[in-house]
Structure 1
Amino acid sequence: MLTALGWTTLRPLWPPIAAASARQGSASQAVGRRITDLIGSNGWASSPRDVAMWKEMGISWARGPVGPGQAHGASDPMRVDKTGNNNESDLPPVIIQNNHNGFRTLLLLAYTPLWNASVPGDSKSAPVDVKAWERYVEAVVRKYHASPYNLRFFQIWNEAAGKLSGGSPQASFWHGAARPGAGDDLHAPYERAMEDYVDKIHIPAARIIRRYGAYVVYGGWPDQGGLETFSQWLEYRSPKYNLRMLDCVDYLDTHYLAVKDMDYLYERYVRQGPARGLWQTEIGDRYMIDDHYLPRYFFDLAAWSLDRNWDDPDKYVSMVYHWDGYEPFRLTHRGPPVRTYNVSGRSLIVLNQTVGGVLSPLQQKLQFGPAASGSALYSDKQIVMQVRALPGWRTVDVPELRPPSSGRAKVRFIDALSGSTASVTQTALKWDDQGLQIRFRVPDLVNGHGGQGPAEHLAYIVVAQE
């Protein structure tokens, strides 16, 4: 009868939580980390309904711009009380509401007002008068680092780059100074892109931010730029300031990288410093056409972070672009008549509900049978595996994982997109001195689209002791 109910009787040894206490090395410092620490979004949650939806999806960070600064000339009053793509919304109540609801805020400092633009009519070009840029940064940080806002994170510019290796010849958001002979051709080579950005934008802003005891977030290196090129920028030393840009960055930031691609920056700049952490302030977008993208990304990021000294809740953050829109792959559809979840938004709800406890690494290696793969971690005392598999009966073993002292455990098979739990007849569990063995049946109608290969099902296997 116990087997029919999805239970099995086990020989009492020691509970899964003991594995967390047995962690070795730097990962043992990752105490109290949760999946919500990792999840952010671009934009703001404005209405009570939006706030409730953010909390249900596990979103804990918000990113948005601040302006307009001195919009029309150096004699304009300095205004830093607006936000939105066209500075159409009041910023102070947004931050107050974020604080009240437990959302962290990252303010984006950008761009150049047209009256001060090196390239006429181009807000992504370098400022003619760098002092005007500094006045804007000073006004923002002075206002919002103080009570009642108490912000500590400020991002400098967005996707500043020059020639992009393997991608566009020019960055979309950093056009720099006017170049002789280039005219209005933003695709012309810009050989001094790095030097101009570091001297005119980054170091002047970073010095101000740090003067107020706040943290500098790099402006998001675009994925097509290449990480070796990013390293060249980070390690470039300004003759003017005798500082590397890396000396003036607290949190490295990239856009749209896969989790495994972040190892390069972690090993080089985060593992032993000088950077405090590694963020991605834009992920998702059209990648979310793949319904598996977001749940896989954040589960992989959690497992990756647990193995890389996740000793601070702010160390690793990724922000979805975008939570709101009309495309079916966004987190939500804004309506009318009312805002509703898309598949990607529902997948975050399932992730937050399934992996909502305190996280710790599972040291043992998973051994999957044919046509299945995945990874695992602990959420409180539960083992949670995220699996990808083809239809039919599949297996996963965890050798040398000793069973719980209670002698009882339960296994559930949860659809990663809908949250539905399969019948207990679709799973079987055996746990003895040799380790944990699970059989699970993947439905014929899988929740993946396939793409270049056969369509797979994405699900969670949750093993709980009782």
Structure 2
Amino acid sequence: MDRVKTRAGRRRALRALAALAAEAAIPLTYVAPARAVTAVTQGSPPPRARARMITDLIGTNGWAGSSADIEMWRAMGISWGRGSVGPGQPDRRGEIMRIDRTGSAFDGDLPSVLIRNERNGINSLLLLGYTPKWNASVPGDSNSAPVDVDAWTQYVEAVVRKYSAPPYNLRYFQIWNEAAGKLSGGLPQATFWHGPDFSRDEKRSKPYPRAMQDYVERIHIPAARIIRRYHAYVVYGGWPDQGGLDNFRQWLEYRSPASNQRMLDWVDYIDTHYLPVSDFESLYQQYVKNGPARGIWQTEIGNEYMKDPHYLPRYFFDLAVWALGRNWDDPDKYVSMIYHWDGYEPFRLTHRGPPARTYNVSGRSLIVLRQTAGGQLASFPKQVQGGPGVAVNTLLSGNDLVMQVRAPAGWQTVAIPGLASMRSGAARADFIDALSGDASAADDVAVSWDNDLMKVRFRVPDEVNGDSHDEQKGEGGKPGSHAPNHLAYLVVRGAAQRVA
């Protein structure tokens, strides 16, 4: 999928996330270092035995703040939230440590949020970070390594001990956010991991030579040992899209001289940010297919990409199709979290009001996706062929064959093998707008047969729901010569039970 956000917009998003957990707390009380433990996978329960659902994949940054918000999350299929925990000891050593607050200004009550999530079937991911300024190795910089590592581990211990236990029962904890060194995108230091010679003026910043070693030895492995000791799972802190996958592999496979262990040995879920689904394949083949990682997450997607109204429905449909072919044996194996579900920009999932919260087009597109592909998911074993200019992706949902199609205006066709057993009946197909959920008139969809090949002819409206921000780009990211496409679902009812 095309990357449409600007570098300046990306930096704004990163700074916004920094506020979510800025100057996170460090508890005072000393806790003995964690004992060596076996991998959490050895003592963990078997995966939940149920079919995969589209909602398993969908999460968001932030929390639902009310019962009305919860209902909107359910309508959009959101089953995960992600947020900060603090404020701890932000000002000085010796303060009473607090880990009961959340939000950009730590003005939200975290325990009540987590209990509400638990009661409503929403999973919660807590982000562990950062360094309080009084303990920062770069003076005054909360995105630098702690001087006193014990203070960091005490914070992690307090959070995981409290929230992994009843009534919260959290199983997933994320260590830091976007720690990296020099980025392939050009920055000498990562936005959330600073060392000597860092400057807010990018032109004056110099590389951080020990970035990888300091993160692995002072942040990641100490925190991961604690998380696994409480039989919980380690989510990597989210590799930034500008970091480059080759650099990410170097970090994952870095072996600490101090412990003779790789960071990868202490990662349960590999996590990236703002990447297309196609980039997951190499990570899956190398680290998930045969271990040691349990799955692949993206704890941030969306943001300015959502200016393209096709982005979210395409992303999650692509992710579902990809996951179904990659041993999706645990509902938590593949998760992506939208940044952000709430705001004032027109591309967020919802507009917070006043007077009342309403859905934006991106939020409505998730509702349509959940309603259209809301059944138990399975791969469609045949190759569907789109006519000229028609792109198609397919899966089975409940009893239906669901095809996500992108096509220009006018009459279009797809050809579907494997459904010859439906020739004897009256096969029915619906054409549904992927953004509004509106179904076309019956006269605008027709099913015919060419021997054993089902052909569905459908009329794409003249006013398509795509625009110049969608995938039609030319060289250098400039608008291409193609007409904008319409995004829709073509659904063959009852096809799942008739596939041969």
Relative to 1, partners in 2 of residues 1:450 and 1:76: Cα closer, same or farther, differing over 3 Å? same
Q: Is the 8 A contact 1:30 1:360 kept in 2?
A: no
407-416 vs 103-112, greater mean Cα deviation: 407-416
Q: Secondary structure at the match of 2:250?
A: helix
What's the % identity of the aligned pairs?
65
Matches within 5 A, 1:140-159: 140-159=159-178
**Cα shift readout 1:172-205 (whole Å, capped 9, x = no counterpart):** 01114x35xx678772111110000000100000
Pick one of 164, 171, 181 that aligns with 2:183. Answer: 164
Preserved CA contact (<8 Å) 1:403 1:431: no
The answer to whether the 8 A contact 1:393-1:442 is kept is: yes
1:294 to 304, 309, 312: 312
Match of 1:313 in 2: 331
In structure 1, the residue matched to 2:10 is: none
> How far, CA to CA, are the matches of 1:30 and 1:463 in structure 2?
28
Give the Cα–Cα distance (whole angstroms) in 2 for the partners of residues 184 and 218 of structure 1: 25
Q: Does 1:273 align with 2:291?
A: yes
Say if 1:99 and 1:437 are closer, same or farther in 2 by CA, change over 3 A.
Answer: same
For 2:176 and 2:219, the matched residues in 1 are separated by 8
User: Residue in 2 aligned with 1:10?
Assistant: none
Q: Which of the numbers 403, 419, 433 marks the counterpart of 1:401?
A: 419
- Aligned-partner Cα distance in 2 for 1:37–1:405: 34
Contact kept, 8 Å, 1:403 with 1:435, in 2: the verdict is no
- Equivalent residues in 2 for 1:352-367 (5 A)? 352-367=370-385
Secondary structure in structure 2 of the residue aligned to 1:69: coil
Aligned to 1:424: 442
Residues in 1 aligned to 2:424 and 2:269: alpha-carbon distance in whole angstroms: 44
**Residue 408 of structure 1: how far off its partner (Å):** 3.3
2:179–2:193 CA contact under 8 A, matched in 1: yes
Q: Which amino acid aligns with 2:190?
A: A
C-alpha distance in 1, partners of 2:308/2:444? 26
Distance 1:194 1:92 in 2: 34
TM-score normalised according to structure 1 size: 0.91
More strand by share: 1
Q: Which residue of 2 aligns with 1:32?
A: 51
Deviation sequence 1:111-167 (CA, Å, 0-9, x none): 001110111111101100000000000000000000000000000000000100133
Tell me what 1:465 maps to: 494
1:406 shift after superposition: 7.6
User: Could you tell me how far 1:399 is from its partner in structure 2?
Assistant: 2.3
Structure 1 pair 442–128 and aligned structure 2 pair: CA distance change class (3 A): same
Return 424-433 or 109-118, whichever deviates more: 424-433
C-alpha distance in 1 between matches for 2:414 and 2:201: 56
Cross-structure match for 1:348: 366
In 1, Cα distance between equivalents of 2:374 and 2:450: 27
Closer/same/farther in 2, CA of residues 287 and 74 from structure 1, 3 Å limit: same
CA deviation after TM superposition for structure 1 residue 465, in Å = 2.4
Query: What TM-score comes out, normalization by structure 2 length?
Result: 0.85
Deviation at 1:75, TM superposition (A): 1.2
Contact 2:385 2:392 in 1 (8 A): no
Alpha-carbon distance between aligned partners in 1 of 2:148 and 2:454, rounded to the nearest angstrom: 65
Q: Report the AA paired with residue 160 of structure 2.
A: V
Are the aligned partners of 1:58 and 1:349 in contact in 2 as well (CA < 8 Å)? yes
Q: Distance in 2 between matches of 1:309 and 1:408?
A: 35
Runs of 4+ in 1 over 4 A off after TM superposition: 182-186
AA partner of residue 352 (structure 2): R
1-structure distance, mates of 2:153, 2:406: 50
Give 2:64's aligned residue: 45
Matched, 1:103 2:138: no
Identify the range of structure 1 (392-401 vs 319-328) with the bigger mean alpha-carbon deviation. Answer: 392-401
Q: Deviations over 1:309-332 (max 9, x none)?
A: 000000000000000001000000
Q: Does the alignment pair 1:264 with 2:293?
A: no
Alignment partner of 1:383 out of 370, 382, 401: 401
Contact 2:76 2:367 in 1 (8 A): yes
Structure 2 residue 160 is matched with structure 1 residue 137: no
User: Separation in 2 of the partners of 1:225 and 1:360?
Assistant: 34
Deviation of the 1:433 alpha carbon: 5.5
Other-structure match for 2:16: none
Superposed CA RMSD in Å reads 1.6
Q: Which residue is equivalent to 1:15?
A: none
- Relative distance call for 1:97 and 1:183 in structure 2 (3 A) is closer
Partners of 1:405 and 1:58 in 2: CA distance: 35
Instruction: Report what 1:91 is aligned to.
Output: 110
Q: Partner residue of 1:119?
A: 138
SS of structure 2 residue aligned to 1:124? coil
CA 1:164 to 1:302, structure 2 compared with 1: closer, same or farther past 3 Å? same
Residues 223-246 of structure 1 deviation map (CA, whole Å, 9 limit, x = unaligned): 110001000000000011111000
Count, aligned residues: 435
How many Å separate the matches in 2 of 1:406 and 1:223? 51
Say whether 1:208 aligns with 2:226: yes
Structure with more relative contact order (C-alpha pairs < 8 Å, separation 6 or more): 1
- Match for 1:76 among 92, 95, 101? 95
Q: Which amino acid aligns with 1:69?
A: G
Specify the alignment match of 2:341 in structure 1.
323
- Partners of 2:276 and 2:411 in 1: how far apart? 30
Which moved further from structure 2: 393-402 or 366-375? 393-402
- Contact 2:181/2:208 (CA < 8 Å) preserved in 1? yes
Distance 1:84 1:431 in 2: 57
What CA distance in whole angstroms lies between the structure 1 residues aligned with 2:396 and 2:146? 50
Structure 1 position 222, deviation (Å): 0.4
Q: Is the 8 A contact 1:253 1:280 kept in 2?
A: yes
**8 Å Cα contact 1:403/1:432 also seen in 2:** no
Cα distance change of structure 1 residues 158 and 217 upon mapping to structure 2, 3 Å threshold: same
3-state SS in 2 of match to 1:314: coil
| CA 1:363–1:31: 2 relative to 1, 3 Å | farther
Q: Structure 1: where are the runs of 5+ without partners?
A: 1-28
Separation in 1 of the partners of 2:429 and 2:49?
A: 26
